[in-house]
C-alpha cells in the first residue's frame, strides 16, 4: 500500500561515507528534534505565523531527505510550498505528515538507526 518509509540504500550510502555510528547519531538527533518541528507547525498554523510554518516545514523536509524518507519529505515540501493556506485547505495535512513521521521513526528504529 505505502512505499517504504525510509530508503535503505540511502542509509547504506550514508553509513558508508559517514560511518554507521555517526548515521545512528544523526538519526537519533532527527528523531529527537522532529516532534518539536511537528509541534512548531501546529503552533504556527494556529497562530497564523507563515514564516515559522515555512521554516519548520523546510527543516523537516531537508532532514527527511537526508535519511531517504521521501514520503515524509514530499509531505513537508507540500506544506512548505503551499504554506498556511495549503495546510488550512488540505484537511488532515498535518495529521498525514505526523503519521508518516511515525512510520519513518519506526523504520529507523527497526533498522538500528534510532
Per residue in 15-39, pLDDT (tens digit) is 999 999 999 999 999 999 999 999 9
Measuring CA to CA, how many Å separate 96 from each of 39, 66, 99? 14, 20, 5
Give the span between the Cα atoms of 22 and 69, in whole angstroms: 18
Residue 110 has pLDDT above 90, yes or no: no
Show the cell assigned to 98. 505526523
pLDDT at site 47: 96
Place of cell 547504506: 12
pLDDT band for position 78 (50/70/90)? Answer: very high
Residue 91 has pLDDT above 90, yes or no: no
Domains of the chain: 8-108 (1.20.120)
pLDDT band for position 1 (50/70/90)? Answer: very low
Give the span between the Cα atoms of 93 and 8, in whole angstroms: 26
Alpha-helix runs per DSSP H in 48-92: 50-66, 70-89
Amino acid at each position: 500500500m505505502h512505499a517504504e518509509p525510509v530508503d535503505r540504500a540511502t542509509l547504506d550510502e550514508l553509513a558508508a561515507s559517514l560511518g554507521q555510528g555517526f548515521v545512528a547519531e544523526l538519526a537519533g538527533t532527527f528523531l529527537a528534534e522532529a516532534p518539536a518541528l511537528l509541534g512548531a507547525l501546529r503552533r504556527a498554523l494556529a497562530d497564523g505565523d507563515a514564516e515559522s510554518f515555512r521554516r519548520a516545514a523546510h527543516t523537516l523536509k531537508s532532514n527527511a531527505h537526508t535519511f531517504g524518507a521521501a514520503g515524509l519529505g514530499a509531505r513537508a515540501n507540500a506544506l512548505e510550498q503551499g504554506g498556511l493556506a495549503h495546510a488550512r485547505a488540505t484537511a488532515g495535512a498535518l495529521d498525514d505528515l505526523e503519521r508518516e513521521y511515525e512510520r519513518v521513526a519506526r523504520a529507523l528504529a527497526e533498522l538500528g538507526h534510532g
